Amino acid sequence: MGEIVLYDYWRSSASYRLRIALGMLGEPYRKVPVNLLAMDHKRPEHLARNPQGLVPVLEIDGQRLTQSLAIIEYLDETRGVGFLPEDAVGRQRVRALSHSIAMEIHPICNLSVVGEVLALTRGGDAVRLGWMKKFIGAGLAALEVMLDEPRTGRFCHGDRPTMADICLMPQVYNANRWGVDLDRCPRILAIAEHCAALPAFAAAYPREELSG
The answer to whether the beta carbons of residues 21 and 81 sit under 8 Å apart is yes
Tell me: does residue 106 bind its own copies (CB under 8 A): yes
- Pick the stretch among 2-10, 35-43, 51-59, 198-206 that binds its own copies (CB under 8 A): 51-59
CB of 206 to its own copies, least distance (A): 20
CA-to-CA distance for 108 and 136, rounded, in angstroms?
A: 9
Q: Over the Cα atoms of the chain, what is R_g? A: 17
CB of 128 to its own copies, least distance (A): 11
Q: Which residues have CB under 8 Å from 210's CB, separation 6+?
A: none
Phi and psi dihedrals of 33, rounded to 5? Answer: -75, 140
- Which CB, 77 or 209, lies closer to its own copies? 77
Q: What H or E segment, with its residue span, contains residue 23?
A: helix 13-25
Q: Which residues bind its own copies (CB under 8 A)?
A: 51-54, 61, 63, 65-67, 69-71, 73-74, 77-78, 88-89, 91-93, 95-96, 98-100, 102-104, 106-108, 113, 116-117, 120-121, 123, 127, 131, 134-135, 139, 142-143, 145-146
